[in-house]
């Protein structure tokens, strides 16, 4: 059945299935107690869960879609064992959908998949497990069109039944979003703003004050904070400096757009997801990572982003060069 569907439906279906499998891999590594932490650079840890989850995702998508460009944060090639354990299942929920007309004729060579196998690694190592997400973003000709965000530990703190398998949110332009329901807005009506826990700074504090946020939510993981916007836990998420990478934002960018919101840099421009050539995992990754940087910050919201941008201090905007 899946082979009869257009490429984009098949890609999204496979991405949902493999993101779920990657979540199971992450839970297994945590349960084992052997995180295998190494440090790629300052404040940039990598664990066995990152490595195994990325190999799982990349092995599956490269095997099933050999002409698609796939860029993973860890740049780790799959092993022979990974290739033998390719996820062949699809998401029945996605396969039931009709492909939006604008995406029925997409060619594999125009597709780039951005993978963050474990967004929020620092939080993972420090016990903030609910902040962790698996991110698979699908871009066509540099534009985000579909994405998957899987939360392996969703509901853990509340003891929800879903804590055993997490939750998966996915979306596609023209289809909308599945897996998440926005909460009612609070009565106070003031701005609720999500900011980074691991990269909190004086600039973030100052921007938050200038935006006159009534409520500031400090949380880990770009994917997690984007889910907060989608779920109406916060009104916006801002990262007013370089730091996030394309694999951090592509999945959420597509899903927010599918829900009718927007993801831009601090100047109001769309983020671009053109392919970037990775270097071998044994080589110096710094240049590759720099090319994948969202160098002019990130602003995410369902509405009112122009009003927020107008309140960002001029010197902050100038520091993020146009």
- Residue 203 a catalytic site member: no
Q: Is 235 a catalytic residue?
A: no
Instruction: Write b or e for each residue in 155-189: b if 16 or more Cβ atoms lie within 10 A of its Cβ, otherwise e.
Output: bbeeeeeebeebbbbbbbbbbebbbbeeeeeeeee
Structure tokens at 102: 């604008």
* 299 in a known ligand binding site: no
- Indicate which residue of 50, 82, 90, 131 is catalytic: 50
Q: Are 271 and 294 in contact, with CB atoms under 8 Å apart?
A: yes
Quick check: 132 and 23 in contact, CB under 8 A? no
> 1-22 as b/e, with b when 16 or more CB fall inside 10 Å?
ebeebebbbbbbbbbbbbbbbb
| 118 known ligand binder | yes
Beta-sheet pairing, 236-239 with 38-41: unpaired
Q: Are 159 and 274 in contact (CB under 8 A)?
A: no
Whether 102 has a binding-site annotation, put simply, is no
191 assigned to a ligand binding site: no
Residue from 47, 121, 133, 264 carrying the catalytic annotation: 121
Residues taking part in catalysis = 50, 121
Could you tell me which residues are annotated as the binding site?
73, 116, 118-119, 248
Annotated binding site for Mg(2+): 73, 116, 118-119, 248
């Amino acid at each position: 059945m899946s082979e009869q569907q257009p490429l984009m439906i098949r890609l999204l279906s496979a991405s949902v299935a493999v993101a779920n499998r990657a979540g199971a891999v992450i839970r297994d590594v945590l349960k084992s107690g052997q995180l295998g932490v190494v440090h790629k650079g300052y404040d940039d840890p990598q664990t066995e869960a990152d490595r195994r989850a990325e190999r799982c995702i990349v092995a599956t998508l490269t095997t099933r879609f050999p002409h698609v460009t796939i860029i993973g944060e860890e740049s780790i090639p799959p092993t022979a064992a990974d290739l033998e354990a390719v996820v062949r299942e699809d998401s029945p929920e996605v396969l039931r959908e009709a492909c939006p007309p604008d995406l029925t004729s997409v060619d594999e060579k125009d597709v780039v998949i951005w993978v963050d196998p474990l967004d929020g690694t620092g939080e993972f190592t420090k016990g903030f497990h609910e902040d962790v997400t698996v991110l698979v973003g699908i871009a066509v000709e540099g534009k985000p069109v579909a994405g998957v965000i899987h939360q392996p530990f969703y509901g853990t703190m509340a003891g929800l039944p879903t804590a055993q398998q997490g939750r998966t949110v996915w979306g596609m332009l023209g289809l909308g979003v599945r897996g998440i329901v926005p909460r009612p807005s609070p009565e106070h009506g003031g701005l609720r703003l999500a900011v980074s826990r691991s990269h909190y700074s004086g600039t973030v504090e100052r921007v938050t004050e200038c935006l006159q946020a009534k409520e500031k939510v400090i949380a880990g993981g770009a994917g997690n904070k984007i889910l907060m916007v989608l779920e109406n836990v916060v009104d916006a998420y801002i990262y007013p400096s370089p730091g996030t990478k394309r694999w951090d934002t592509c999945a959420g960018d597509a899903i927010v757009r599918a829900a009718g919101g927007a993801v831009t840099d601090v100047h109001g421009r769309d983020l671009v997801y053109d392919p970037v050539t990775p270097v071998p995992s044994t080589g110096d990754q710094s240049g590759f990572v720099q090319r994948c940087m969202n160098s002019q910050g990130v602003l995410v919201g369902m509405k009112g982003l122009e009003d927020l941008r107008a309140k960002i201090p001029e010197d902050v905007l100038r520091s993020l060069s146009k």
